[in-house]
Structure 1
């Protein structure tokens, strides 16, 4: 879709359709040939900005069956937010024209597990890993305050908090959502079966056939 701006709904359906192909074991591997490489060399027009966890099992173009020029990917451990992340996402929205921002979390997230251990047992981390844990801590505390005990609920709470934080800190993104030119959603990925499930959405009504 380089050169053509998708609507937010079309972008979301394109992403979810790719995930359905991946989970069914029938990926099409679109836009991964020499012709696509040549076509995208002068410029890029990704249909989605994907901000996900750095976990090696969350390779965005693979689990959503996309190719060159389709996704503008930003990744940090535990999808923690910093200035560089915000700048990258704003670049995807305001310069590249992507209509969809996706926060992608997953089960068995090491950052969330380490933060739960730090909060519950006082387990400490060294170096800059401690900074990651500190940024995930508000999500863990909120999940505990809500009475959650299941890991899935902690993951979903962290995804929700990340989406809220992006909208709170980035006026560029918030205005794009308010004007209807962009949407922000949170997805939770399941490592065992490869499915991505909708957790939260701003700027669109969830399609009737979206995962739940």
Structure 2
């Protein structure tokens, strides 16, 4: 398992070194920015503070829970509008679970959310790189890591299940969270899911790209826990 992960880790270190140096000189923004279509003013919706972006995200979830969805930005005019460029106000690192469709849960539409989904909502090198792009280049102001009730990936890790193929790489990424939460009172799976959210958020904050955005008050990272029964997102914080 360690041998399989070594090339990925090396690649991640090298890419982060390049990105960190590029930020200081402006090379990254200049080069990648040339490939990102300049958005029309109408879709520059992320000219807000990180706190305002988080409120907009949570307000959408409240509408979903209260069965008062407005289904914004989901018509044909919005589709053609964002074809010219994108400026999502929020980024999501969520589980690949079929019961977690971010745009529905947060009552958002085309161009609103920059979403990465992977089983166990783990922050792999590829997910981190994608979210660096979504925050640095596209300008998302809040990045939420969302775990959910009865997560299968976390549950398998908690049980110590023997898994085939590359599923083991997900388990390895989640194991530290399971270990850190095993002596906590309450539901063991829920505790492990929330600990995993905090662990993956910590890994994201270790990115020099993302940490610089946080330092400059251009980004906020928060953890979330999705209740499958009610549809509600609750904020997960360090105890």
Pair in the same fold by TM > 0.5: yes
Name which of 204, 211, 216 aligns with 1:179. Answer: 216
Cα RMSD between the aligned structures? 1.4
Larger radius of gyration: 2
**Cα deviation digits, residues 98-139 of structure 1 (max 9, x gap):** 111110110100001000111xxxx31111111111111111
Given that 2:146 and 2:223 are in contact with CA atoms closer than 8 Å, whether structure 1 keeps it comes out as yes
Displaced runs of 4 or more, over 6 A: none
**1:81 maps to 2:123:** yes
**Cα deviation digits, residues 42-101 of structure 1 (max 9, x gap):** 100000011101000110000000000000000100011211101100001111011111
Given that 1:2 and 1:70 are in contact with CA atoms closer than 8 Å, whether structure 2 keeps it comes out as no
**1:133 maps to 2:162:** no
More off after superposition, 8-17 vs 149-158? 149-158
* 1:151 Cα offset (Å): 2.2
- Greater helix share, 1 or 2? 2
Partner of 1:52: 94
* 1:154 Cα offset (Å): 1.4
Unaligned runs of at least 5 residues, structure 2? 1-41
Partner of 1:30: 72
Given that 2:182 and 2:188 are in contact with CA atoms closer than 8 Å, whether structure 1 keeps it comes out as no
Partner of 2:114: 72
For the residues of structure 1 that align with 2:157 and 2:165, how far apart are their CA atoms? 14
For the residues of structure 1 that align with 2:64 and 2:232, how far apart are their CA atoms? 8
Partner of 1:2: 43
More off after superposition, 140-149 vs 155-164? 140-149
TM-score, with normalisation over the residues of structure 1?
A: 0.88
Partner of 1:190: 227
For the residues of structure 2 that align with 1:193 and 1:79, how far apart are their CA atoms? 20
Partner of 1:115: 157
For the residues of structure 2 that align with 1:58 and 1:48, how far apart are their CA atoms? 16
Name which of 195, 203, 208 aligns with 1:157. Answer: 195
